[in-house]
Amino acid sequence: MVLSAQLFSFFTAGSLIVIGIFAALFLDNLIKKIIGLAFIGDGVNLFIITMGYKPGGIVYIFLPNMTISNFAQTASYPLPFALVLTSIVIGASTLAVMLGLVIVLNKRHDSLSASKILGDERD
Protein backbone atom coordinates (compact mmCIF):
# COMPACT_ATOMS: atom_id res chain seq x y z
CA MET A 1 0.00 0.00 0.00
CA VAL A 2 2.95 2.23 0.83
CA LEU A 3 4.67 1.42 -2.47
CA SER A 4 1.56 2.22 -4.48
CA ALA A 5 1.31 5.61 -2.72
CA GLN A 6 4.82 6.46 -4.00
CA LEU A 7 3.95 5.16 -7.46
CA PHE A 8 0.76 7.25 -7.44
CA SER A 9 2.83 10.27 -6.49
CA PHE A 10 5.26 9.68 -9.38
CA PHE A 11 2.30 9.32 -11.72
CA THR A 12 0.83 12.60 -10.46
CA ALA A 13 4.19 14.35 -10.95
CA GLY A 14 4.42 13.02 -14.48
CA SER A 15 0.86 14.09 -15.26
CA LEU A 16 1.52 17.59 -13.94
CA ILE A 17 4.61 17.88 -16.19
CA VAL A 18 2.77 16.63 -19.28
CA ILE A 19 -0.28 18.85 -18.65
CA GLY A 20 2.06 21.79 -18.04
CA ILE A 21 3.98 21.23 -21.29
CA PHE A 22 0.69 20.93 -23.20
CA ALA A 23 -0.61 24.16 -21.69
CA ALA A 24 2.63 26.02 -22.29
CA LEU A 25 2.85 24.97 -25.92
CA PHE A 26 -0.75 24.85 -27.12
CA LEU A 27 -2.85 27.31 -25.12
CA ASP A 28 -3.09 30.84 -26.44
CA ASN A 29 -3.94 32.71 -23.24
CA LEU A 30 -0.76 33.93 -21.58
CA ILE A 31 -2.05 33.41 -18.05
CA LYS A 32 -2.96 29.80 -18.88
CA LYS A 33 0.51 29.33 -20.37
CA ILE A 34 2.06 30.62 -17.17
CA ILE A 35 -0.13 28.31 -15.07
CA GLY A 36 1.07 25.46 -17.27
CA LEU A 37 4.68 26.46 -16.66
CA ALA A 38 3.99 26.51 -12.93
CA PHE A 39 2.58 22.98 -13.28
CA ILE A 40 5.84 21.82 -14.88
CA GLY A 41 7.88 23.19 -11.99
CA ASP A 42 5.48 21.75 -9.41
CA GLY A 43 5.54 18.38 -11.14
CA VAL A 44 9.33 18.27 -11.02
CA ASN A 45 9.29 19.31 -7.34
CA LEU A 46 6.77 16.57 -6.52
CA PHE A 47 8.95 14.08 -8.40
CA ILE A 48 11.98 15.02 -6.30
CA ILE A 49 10.04 14.84 -3.03
CA THR A 50 8.64 11.45 -3.97
CA MET A 51 12.13 10.23 -4.78
CA GLY A 52 13.22 11.16 -1.26
CA TYR A 53 10.47 9.07 0.34
CA LYS A 54 11.65 6.07 2.32
CA PRO A 55 9.13 3.45 3.55
CA GLY A 56 9.24 3.45 7.34
CA GLY A 57 11.73 6.29 7.33
CA ILE A 58 12.06 8.77 10.16
CA VAL A 59 12.67 12.49 10.09
CA TYR A 60 16.42 13.18 9.72
CA ILE A 61 16.88 14.73 13.14
CA PHE A 62 19.40 12.93 15.36
CA LEU A 63 17.82 12.71 18.81
CA PRO A 64 19.72 11.87 22.05
CA ASN A 65 18.17 8.41 22.42
CA MET A 66 19.35 7.22 18.98
CA THR A 67 22.46 5.36 17.91
CA ILE A 68 24.38 6.53 14.84
CA SER A 69 23.92 3.15 13.09
CA ASN A 70 20.16 3.12 13.70
CA PHE A 71 19.86 6.74 12.58
CA ALA A 72 21.92 6.15 9.40
CA GLN A 73 19.77 3.17 8.47
CA THR A 74 16.32 4.59 9.18
CA ALA A 75 16.47 8.33 8.51
CA SER A 76 15.03 9.46 5.18
CA TYR A 77 17.41 11.20 2.79
CA PRO A 78 17.27 14.97 3.52
CA LEU A 79 18.85 16.20 0.29
CA PRO A 80 15.75 16.06 -1.98
CA PHE A 81 13.75 18.19 0.44
CA ALA A 82 16.51 20.80 0.61
CA LEU A 83 16.66 20.91 -3.19
CA VAL A 84 12.90 21.33 -3.49
CA LEU A 85 12.85 24.27 -1.07
CA THR A 86 15.36 26.11 -3.28
CA SER A 87 13.51 25.08 -6.41
CA ILE A 88 10.23 26.47 -5.07
CA VAL A 89 11.89 29.83 -4.43
CA ILE A 90 13.34 29.90 -7.96
CA GLY A 91 9.94 28.98 -9.37
CA ALA A 92 8.29 31.80 -7.45
CA SER A 93 10.85 34.33 -8.75
CA THR A 94 10.45 33.36 -12.38
CA LEU A 95 6.65 33.30 -11.95
CA ALA A 96 6.78 36.86 -10.59
CA VAL A 97 8.91 38.03 -13.55
CA MET A 98 6.57 36.39 -16.08
CA LEU A 99 3.45 37.84 -14.47
CA GLY A 100 5.04 41.30 -14.32
CA LEU A 101 5.85 41.11 -18.02
CA VAL A 102 2.30 39.96 -18.83
CA ILE A 103 0.83 42.91 -16.91
CA VAL A 104 2.91 45.39 -18.93
CA LEU A 105 2.19 43.65 -22.24
CA ASN A 106 -1.54 43.46 -21.46
CA LYS A 107 -1.60 47.24 -20.87
CA ARG A 108 0.23 47.82 -24.17
CA HIS A 109 -1.69 45.41 -26.40
CA ASP A 110 -4.99 45.20 -24.47
CA SER A 111 -4.93 41.44 -24.91
CA LEU A 112 -3.71 38.25 -23.29
CA SER A 113 -3.41 36.35 -26.55
CA ALA A 114 0.08 34.93 -27.02
CA SER A 115 -0.31 34.76 -30.80
CA LYS A 116 -1.23 38.46 -30.90
CA ILE A 117 1.38 39.74 -28.44
CA LEU A 118 4.30 37.44 -29.15
CA GLY A 119 3.56 36.93 -32.81
CA ASP A 120 3.13 40.63 -33.60
CA GLU A 121 6.82 41.44 -33.09
CA ARG A 122 8.55 42.70 -36.21
CA ASP A 123 12.13 43.94 -36.17
Partner 1 sequence: MDPFIPIMVILPIASALFLNLLHKNDRTVKILAIVTALVLPIIPLLTGYGSHYFGGYAPLSQNSAIAQGLPSLITGTQLFIFHPAITYVFASAQKVMIFILGIIAFFAVFTALNETKKPSGVYAFLMFMGTASVIAILLSDDIFNLYVFFEIAALAQVGIVIASNVKHNYETALKYVILGNIAGPLLLLGIALLLGVTGNVNITDIIYSIKHGLVNPQNPVLLMALGLITFGWLYGSGLPPFHTIKSALYSKALPHGAALIQAFTVFMMVALGVIILRIFSYLPFSKMAIIAVSLLALVLSITMAIVQTDFKRILGYLALGELGYIGIGLGLGTTLGITAGLFQAVNEAIITAFLFIGFGTVLYKTRTSDTRKLGGMMFKNPRVALLVLLAGLAMAGVPPLNAFQSKLMLIQASLQAGVPELGIIMILLSIVTFMTFMKAFYTIYMRPKPPELVIHDYKIPKATIISLVAFLIICLILGLFPQIATSNLQTLASSLV
Residues that bind partner 1 (CB under 8 A): 17, 21, 24, 30, 33-34, 37, 40-41, 43-44, 47-48, 51, 68-69, 72-73, 77, 79-80, 83, 86-87, 90, 93-94, 97-98, 101-102, 104-105, 108, 117-118, 120-123
To partner 1, the closest distance from the beta carbon of 66 in angstroms equals 13
Nearer to partner 1, 5 or 99 (CB): 99
To partner 1, the closest distance from the beta carbon of 1 in angstroms equals 22
DSSP labels for 22-74?
A: HHHHH--BHHHHHHHHHHHHHHHHHHHHHHT--TT-B-S---TT--HHHHHHH
To partner 1, the closest distance from the beta carbon of 6 in angstroms equals 12
Nearer to partner 1, 7 or 72 (CB): 72
Contacts of 54 (CB under 8 A, 6+ apart): 76, 77
Strand partners, 75: 58
To partner 1, the closest distance from the beta carbon of 119 in angstroms equals 9
Contacts of 42 (CB under 8 A, 6+ apart): 16, 20, 91
Nearer to partner 1, 8 or 100 (CB): 100
- Which amino acid is it at 80? P
